Structure 1
């Protein structure tokens, strides 16, 4: 190989690095460390070649030393040029224009070209004949072929997967029964990161032969369905309405417009129901399912629907004949004890409190569940037995403004109960909250018998409404100040730029 060709190859590599560096500055991106290191070595060896070729004072190298230096300089120069071309293709086409060029195909091409260069360098620089290396015995060829069978299979499978592109890095997939997000794909293996934070490596040949489910294509939005098996004694319409109410109010979960809640099967005295909903991000699958099933459990229990034992085992209990009456009496006594401890009900005598307890019910809501929605009609009063709720009022611009927190012993819903007005605020459970719901007719009878409680209610209502109004005023004033401050800052910025006093 001529010496001038070697020097020109070095200069081509240096020129390529300079061009790539300028492009990286224009695109405001960083060069890979491998390309920088290869460029530095190329420049060092190239400078040595120039000094050695143009300076007569440098000692003459032996033929072997000369050939090694030339081969190393040429190999580094070509490697640097290939790295620069690869970086340009990835940066300008793959990353910038989303052109589908498999990265490891570029790696394979680079290795193949470098292998050819090594063989050519050995032949032209060192004068070694390659015929003996290329012509091998039949036994040696069979051994090498068998040894590389799996490797070549994975390589070919990886190339076919890259060309078909059934998935990409960061996609949620299920392959060979393993679910996870793709974190890496190379010429031999595919690496998945499971929900348990385990890294699972699958060979490309295994992936190519397996069923692939991609949960990120064509979009991250997927339909999920949860199944519940209940007794056939419950009305399917009641069950479906209750299940659909479980999803309503969840920000990240929306009901499917057609499937919604549906009957899946009926057998052995049980009915299996499906609840289908849209999931915007598949990575939140478990979190969303937990929210849906938790809401479903609370909603089902509130309407008296209980989930049967999945084992099908019979459980024998000695139940007295008046078990239902005893349970109801125990519940009413518990509600009566709670009401008796409330200060704002201390004007009621024992008979009046028992009357309220006999006509009231208890319900439990989970965290984040909405008890009351502003604008809805209502005719019941809620007393918080355990837990806490937040009160939100819709402002003039349509935003939901937090106004208050209510805890055990507080009440809400009195305006709808007493005047028939729509709910004036939205109430949301901040934690698992149990409330007592008092019947309108029973409470009206108590109020007509003792007007004193009405006066206390009016006082509490005025205090509550005053607090809500004050919160809304404070929120509006704060937003006005923010807008005014932002406007003043913007004007000051313009004046500084235009140098206007």
Structure 2
């Protein structure tokens, strides 16, 4: 009954019940000479049931109701004014049951036997019997009270449970006087008795300090022939990229070597994310970026015994280009076209802090990021440079200069030591000349990218994507093949 939770309503109800008790006591005093009904009533006698007997029974009922309402008003006032702790509803229910049980037992004994000593003895005997028979249920109820009173968990909290060396994550769905209901990572509901739950080893992730999340680990096994320091550098860059681009991840990370065995190295990645993110999802997001960065850096994610598909002549430059071209606008090229372009591409090294591109300069080349990271900067209103984008392995920069001859639109610096693959106009011109369809496909990709950037910046997309794509195609044709547009 929700109205019994309001301190104001309970206050008036207490006064009404007090008045009823005083009226009944006065009536008994006038008609029997005693204010206690049980002193003049004995149900063991074979006398005719009278109004006095009804009044004696009703007095116990009225006492029980009054005691219950007074208790509820006290709890409601405490919960209303308390900021740190609350008395749980289950504890109030237990108090209510105890009050009615004690007044019921007292009424039965005093109306039949008139012996207080028998009342105490009977209460103890009955209490012991009930306690033994219902010991498991009582234990669960008591532990439910502990869980709620101490605020160990709340609905929708995320907890991390350690059991036999494994870690599981659950969301609290419900808890009552017997069970705690949890949802696991596969969306199955798991019910755990309160007594068992209170003895479990767990961390309530939702009740940690503000800004703390769930810290998790992920293992990646790679060929031992890979350069370990290079691998860890790439993996640290993976974590930095995820933290910067995904709001579900927090600024805490670790990367190291866990073990070396059978020609493979196991790398350990530790990261922190929001508790609501399922481990299977957070690990998948990390692994997706890791595979892209490792592949772009030319790190072997398979076995050193695998047969190489590229010949010795095609070497590292070809490998680097071939592994990353599919992440950008050049993915519309066929396998043979990509192989042809990879033979003329060049590798460029850019050290941390070094400027790769200068705003306003004329150029006809683009760069694909193979390793490291770049920062794109433009002058702010105060004249100081501000970073507008970070480019990670697989990203490209300078494509508009390559395809249309447009001046560089921003300054680009190396955020970390970077390895880049440079594509120049003379490298890609023969491929476009032999397959003009590529120009339309590249123009469409560029138009979609510009529309997405406009939507992110101004909350509005380019109105006519087809027209934008056609305009870009004309510009590319005009830059590469003058007289054809």
Question: Which of 253, 261, 267 is the matching residue for 1:267?
Answer: 261
Q: How big is the shift at 1:277?
A: 2.1
The TM-score, its normalising length taken from structure 1, stands at 0.53
Q: Is the 8 A contact 1:17 1:81 kept in 2?
A: no
Question: Which of 63, 79, 83 is the matching residue for 1:74?
Answer: 63
- Of the structure 1 ranges 137-146 and 230-239, higher mean CA displacement relative to structure 2 is found in 137-146
Return closer, same or farther for 1:275/1:253 CA change in 2, 3 Å cut-off: farther
Q: Is the 8 A contact 1:255 1:278 kept in 2?
A: yes
Partner of 2:422: 439
Distance 1:353 1:238 in 2: 26
Distance 1:340 1:166 in 2: 53
Distance 2:104 2:125 in 1: 26
Q: Is the 8 A contact 1:376 1:422 kept in 2?
A: no
Q: Is the 8 A contact 2:155 2:174 kept in 1?
A: yes
1:221-240 equivalent positions in 2, closer than 5 A? 221-240=213-232
1:311-322 equivalent positions in 2, closer than 5 A? none
Encode CA deviations 1:201-227: one digit per residue, 9 max, x unaligned.
322321233322332343342322211
Partner of 2:158: 172
Q: Is the 8 A contact 2:184 2:190 kept in 1?
A: yes
Q: How big is the shift at 1:98?
A: 1.5
Question: Which of 131, 150, 160 is the matching residue for 2:136?
Answer: 150
Partner of 1:295: 289
Distance 2:230 2:257 in 1: 12
Distance 2:408 2:367 in 1: 15
Q: How big is the shift at 1:21?
A: 2.3
Partner of 2:416: none
Return closer, same or farther for 1:148/1:382 CA change in 2, 3 Å cut-off: same
Encode CA deviations 1:442-472: one digit per residue, 9 max, x unaligned.
535778xx9xxxxx9xxx9xx99xx99xx79
Distance 2:53 2:378 in 1: 88
Question: Which of 164, 189, 213 is the matching residue for 1:199?
Answer: 189
Question: Which of 62, 65, 71 is the matching residue for 2:51?
Answer: 62
Partner of 1:241: 233
Return closer, same or farther for 1:281/1:145 CA change in 2, 3 Å cut-off: closer
Q: Is the 8 A contact 2:258 2:266 kept in 1?
A: yes
Question: Which of 314, 337, 359 is the matching residue for 2:344?
Answer: 359
Encode CA deviations 1:78-134: one digit per residue, 9 max, x unaligned.
3223222222222221xxx12365554444344333433333444556766576576
Distance 2:124 2:339 in 1: 100
Distance 1:269 1:218 in 2: 41
Q: How big is the shift at 1:357?
A: 5.0
Distance 2:274 2:162 in 1: 24
Distance 2:186 2:173 in 1: 14
The TM-score, its normalising length taken from structure 2, stands at 0.55
How many residues get paired? 365
Distance 1:302 1:77 in 2: 77
Encode CA deviations 1:172-231: one digit per residue, 9 max, x unaligned.
224474632234444543332334443333223212333223323433423222111111
Equivalent position SS for 2:206: coil
Q: How big is the shift at 1:241?
A: 1.8
